[in-house]
Amino acid sequence: MNPEQILFFVFGLLALVGAISVISFRHPIYSALALIVTFFAQAGLFVLLGAHFVAAAQVIVYAGAIMVLFLFVIMLLNLGRRDREGAPTGAKLKGIGIVLGILFAAEGIYIAVNARNGTAVASAQPAPEAVTTYGIGELLFSKYLLPFEVTSLILLAALIGVIVLVKREKPTDN
């Protein structure tokens, strides 16, 4: 085993343990923390793949902004009391869970089988121009301009939606 493989297994194991912890912890705060661990381990895997920009973006976007908001919501939801009630466990949710679980398991097996033959998994090498942030920027503004702009429009729409939802009509109390 070379160092890269050892690191791969360390990060892979960490991601799996984190992911399982997310659903097995009873307390939402701990689940959120486990999710950070998973995201962090994924960032480590991205680094091993040579996608350093993606790794940094992963940490900044997920582990940073979204998780802070996540914690925010959780803390305002069960302020000061230990909420031992897990997520609602209806028969419907269980059904969805089983279906999704089977789908993911099938996908995993499919990839694993085909990876042995070396067909299903794309090369672990990133495109040469996508290694640097500069290259990614150039690709985003030339080859992938339309998807990029569409994504930014969706984000803008979400932003405006939030402002409209939150904005009070007129300050009445002061």
CA–CA gap between residue 68 and residue 36 (Å, rounded): 10
User: Which stretch in 64-72, 91-99, 146-154, 160-168 sits in contact with another protein by CB under 8 A?
Assistant: 64-72
Q: Which of 36, 46, 38 is nearest to 16 (CA)?
A: 38
| CA triple 78-165-174, angle to 5 deg | 85
Alpha carbon 115 to its chain centroid, in Å, reads 24
Neighbours of 131 (CB within 10 A): 15
| Longest pairwise C-alpha distance within the chain | 70
- CB nearer another protein, residue 14 or residue 33: 33
Q: Where are the beta strands (DSSP E) in the chain?
A: none
Which residues between 36 and 55 bind another protein (CB under 8 A)? 36, 47-50, 52-53, 55
For helices 145-166 and 133-141, give the axis angle rounded to 10 degrees. 90
Tell me the number of residues near another protein by CB under 8 A.
Answer: 52
Residues 116-124: contacts with CB under 8 Å, at least 24 apart: 124/49
User: Which stretch in 8-16, 92-100, 145-153, 158-166 sits in contact with another protein by CB under 8 A?
Assistant: 8-16
User: Which stretch in 96-104, 112-120, 147-155, 160-168 sits in contact with another protein by CB under 8 A?
Assistant: 112-120
Per rule CB under 8 A, is residue 135 in the interface with another protein? yes
Per rule CB under 8 A, is residue 125 in the interface with another protein? yes
Per rule CB under 8 A, is residue 17 in the interface with another protein? no
Binding site for another protein (CB under 8 A): 2-5, 7-9, 12, 29-30, 33, 36, 47-50, 52-53, 55-57, 59-60, 63-65, 67-69, 71-72, 75, 79-80, 108, 111-113, 115-116, 118, 121, 123-125, 131-135, 171, 174
